[in-house]
Structure 1
Amino acid sequence: MLKLNRWKATTALVLTASMNATAIAPLVAPMLAPAPAMAQSTGFRDVSDSYWAADFIQQLVQRGVIAGFPDGTFRPDAPVTRAQYSAMLRKAFNKGKIRDKVSFVDVPSTYWAMSAIDEAYEMGFLSGYPGRIFQPEQNIPREQVLVSLANGLNYTTTRTVNETLSYYNDFSSISSYARSPIAAATEKNMVVNYPILKTLNPVRNATRAEVAAFLYQALVSQNSASAIASNYIVSLSPIVTDFRIPAGTSIPVTYERDKIVLMQEETVQVELVVATNITTSDGTLLIPKGSKVLGELRPATGGTQFVSKEIVFANGTRKAFNATSQVITQTETVRQGSSLVNLLKNAAIGSAAAAAISGVTGDRTITASEVLIGTGAGLLASLVQRLIGAGSVDVLVVEPNTDLNLTLRSDFVVSPQ
């Protein structure tokens, strides 16, 4: 079975056969995406340009959402308090009030972040605890950041919550109150997991770098920021509608006879059969074994070449199919008195070759079932004239098992079978 495995870096697929290694990409429903943001230096001595969250941090610094410390550091691994996070929300989003503020008993009027906390509450991003408690100095967990963003932006799920959350290998650790909002945040590509994409770590305290990544992705989801290329942004697999098998991919085929014998100048119709199932690595069938490739052997420089026209799947569906074989140049000379046993054993013979062989050898035993249709009357007439008195003729000999493996000459778009 010829299998096509998914490339880890993309939704692309990779051909894993001994013939070649050609990328295959699934076609998905069109999605609009903003242009990627350009990477720049953060300017912080503890955030290198190669740091996983450097681009998120840099973009938010430029927007004035976050800042570093006087000593030139950012402290990306430091936790974030609920008060600090409120201040970031206030700067990141210009959102109207959806409710009146509450006087939290643990946030006095002189507290440095009181107005930010009030606005985060009024915009719907954050809430307090029973008894009008806010706990401003409490470090905020990752799941609470994602819940606040999903709730504040009014995001809901389009899939079932369980289906979406099953992406994470630690989904059972997600608090019950956080399940639906985190599913919504996931669908909006707001979740960023480093270093393991499928590990959410929902109850662990969020770091400054992680909060920066979450906030930036929330802005992207609102079309308020350009997308950043990162391997750590969770993106649920889009629905695949078709697969694109690219030009250059090898398609193994078989033929019902051991040989095809023809004249170099003749064109004959040939039906090849796909030799093995071509599937994705997860078993999705793209081209079934036994599918028929219809085409013709036609003259090529120094020999003959198979050129396909269409493929016929087992269910009868036909699609245009642009593939060719190598140019075959192997010849054999037939002379008067030659034994034709080895040459014609289990062979299909072009009508021009059949006429030429009969004309040279006088052998009239070639049966109609062995002759391939395709040669026109004009070519046969010219052959007859050319071979009058000839003592030999050169014929091309095609051995399908070795000569007729096909190579796609243009991308082939196919639905799963």
Structure 2
Amino acid sequence: MPWLFRPLLRQPQPSSTPRKRWQPLVPAGLLTLAVGLILLAWSSERPVDAEATLIPATQPTPARGVKQLFRRPLPPPPLTVPPPVLPQPLPPQQAWPDLPLVQTQPRFSDLSADHWAWPQLADLARRDLVSGFPDGTFRPGATVTRAELAAQLARLFDLPPDRQNMPLTTYPDLGPDHWAYASVQKSIGMGFLSGHPEGKFLPDQTVTRIQVIVALASGLGLKSSRGAATVLAPYSDRNQVPPWAVGSLVAATDAGLVVNYPHINTLAPSQLASRAEVATMLHRALVYTGRLRQVASPYVVAPSPHPLELNPHP
């Protein structure tokens, strides 16, 4: 029979299908995958090492392991701008004594009720917080030395409890036998005054108005986040303020400590401070701390209004 018409002969089939080479590896692969998933799950539950990773308390704990692969990214938190920090009246210290009236009417031969600083000076004198000279004068126009300012600060303010054990500061020009030694040490411990860069205190050096303002702002710990351009705008001579004093002046102005006589818009930062000017600014500091009631004066620089206060209704 021609080969074209020969029936196709069925090839003999093997009794069973031969196993492929990779089939024996399936159980081992499944076992490896299971072990890997167990390790990933275990690592995702481990606590974060606080010593090795710093995570802000305001942020959630980041996902780990498998959770990190399938977790949708969270949108960034909105940017918030904190409100400006304005000086707030300090609570009266428990260590400070009360300020009672000691005398009904102060008696200074060179002061009368028509003096521009009389309301503040009279209030201080009636409480025995300022005193005159042995001849009965107050000398309101006289200048003030650093030692005299330290004596007045030590008289009006008391050491806070956390600074009572501070070590004494030594200066070559201020020995223990100086009449203002204890007052200088106390005022330095409270943070009002400090020595000069060359290591001296210069107790007989007269103080300027800006130095008095900076001393009060430093001792009271005044801070303000408001811009200098806004706060110092009322001062016509603001360009004369030294850069190292701008921050303290801004805070002192916001706290209502600055007193300008005779022109309220003229700061005169480099002018020597008079006894009347120092006394009135010290009175304002006592009002700020809550120890005295406010006494009206047309020469106290009122803090400029907050920008948000100009338009309270959006």
Asked if 1 retains the 8 angstrom alpha-carbon contact of 2:154 and 2:187, the reply is yes
Cα distance, 1:239–1:214 mapped onto 2, change above 3 Å: same
Question: In the alignment, which residue of structure 1 is the partner of 2:260?
Answer: 193
Question: In the alignment, which residue of structure 2 is the partner of 1:84?
Answer: 148
1:167-316 matches, within 5 Å, as: 167-239=234-306
TM-align CA RMSD: 2.5
One-letter code aligned to 1:120: S
Query: C-alpha separation between the residues in 2 aligned to 1:144 and 1:241?
Result: 31
* Farther-moved stretch of structure 1 (80-89 vs 48-57): 48-57
Asked if 2 retains the 8 angstrom alpha-carbon contact of 1:242 and 1:416, the reply is no
Cα distance, 1:242–1:188 mapped onto 2, change above 3 Å: closer
Q: Which whole-Å deviations, capped at 9, do the CAs of 1:254-282 have from their partners, x for residues lacking one?
A: xxxxxxxxxxxxxxxxxxxxxxxxxxxxx
Larger helix proportion, structure 1 or 2?
2
Aligned residues: 211
Query: C-alpha separation between the residues in 2 aligned to 1:151 and 1:231?
Result: 25
Question: In the alignment, which residue of structure 2 is the partner of 1:361?
Answer: none
Asked if 2 retains the 8 angstrom alpha-carbon contact of 1:102 and 1:132, the reply is no
TM-score by length of 1: 0.47
1:180 Cα offset (Å): 0.5
Counterpart among 206, 221, 226 of residue 139 in structure 1: 206
Question: In the alignment, which residue of structure 2 is the partner of 1:58?
Answer: 122
Counterpart among 213, 228, 232 of residue 161 in structure 1: 228
Identical residues among aligned pairs (%): 36
Query: C-alpha separation between the residues in 2 aligned to 1:56 and 1:182?
Result: 21
1:56 Cα offset (Å): 1.4
Asked if 1 retains the 8 angstrom alpha-carbon contact of 2:159 and 2:189, the reply is no
Question: Residue 143 of structure 1: SS of its match in structure 2?
Answer: helix
Question: In the alignment, which residue of structure 2 is the partner of 1:129?
Answer: 196
1:166 Cα offset (Å): 2.0
Q: Which whole-Å deviations, capped at 9, do the CAs of 1:4-37 have from their partners, x for residues lacking one?
A: xxxxxxxxxxxxxxxxxxxxxxxxxxx99xxxxx
Query: C-alpha separation between the residues in 1 aligned to 2:257 and 2:273?
Result: 14
Matched, 1:69 2:148: no
Cα distance, 1:188–1:242 mapped onto 2, change above 3 Å: closer
Q: Which whole-Å deviations, capped at 9, do the CAs of 1:160-210 have from their partners, x for residues lacking one?
A: 123212221001111111111011000000001011001011111100000
Query: C-alpha separation between the residues in 1 aligned to 2:304 and 2:211?
Result: 25
Cα distance, 1:154–1:242 mapped onto 2, change above 3 Å: closer
Question: Residue 89 of structure 1: SS of its match in structure 2?
Answer: helix
Question: Residue 57 of structure 1: SS of its match in structure 2?
Answer: helix
Q: Which whole-Å deviations, capped at 9, do the CAs of 1:301-341 have from their partners, x for residues lacking one?
A: xxxxxxxxxxxxxxxxxxxxxxxxxxxxxxxxxxxxxxxxx
Asked if 1 retains the 8 angstrom alpha-carbon contact of 2:124 and 2:130, the reply is yes
Cα distance, 1:237–1:179 mapped onto 2, change above 3 Å: closer
Query: C-alpha separation between the residues in 2 aligned to 1:125 and 1:59?
Result: 23
One-letter code aligned to 1:91: R
Question: In the alignment, which residue of structure 2 is the partner of 1:406?
Answer: none
Counterpart among 80, 103, 107 of residue 43 in structure 1: 107
Query: C-alpha separation between the residues in 1 aligned to 2:202 and 2:275?
Result: 18
Unaligned runs of 5+ in 2: 1-87, 90-100
1:95-114 matches, within 5 Å, as: 95-96=159-160, 97=163, 99-114=166-181
1:236 Cα offset (Å): 2.2
Unaligned runs of 5+ in 1: 1-30, 33-37, 244-283, 285-414
Cα distance, 1:60–1:242 mapped onto 2, change above 3 Å: closer
1:159 Cα offset (Å): 1.0
Query: C-alpha separation between the residues in 1 aligned to 2:307 and 2:243?
Result: 31
1:241 Cα offset (Å): 8.0
Query: C-alpha separation between the residues in 1 aligned to 2:158 and 2:171?
Result: 23
Q: Which whole-Å deviations, capped at 9, do the CAs of 1:46-66 have from their partners, x for residues lacking one?
A: 111121101211222233332
1:242 Cα offset (Å): 8.8
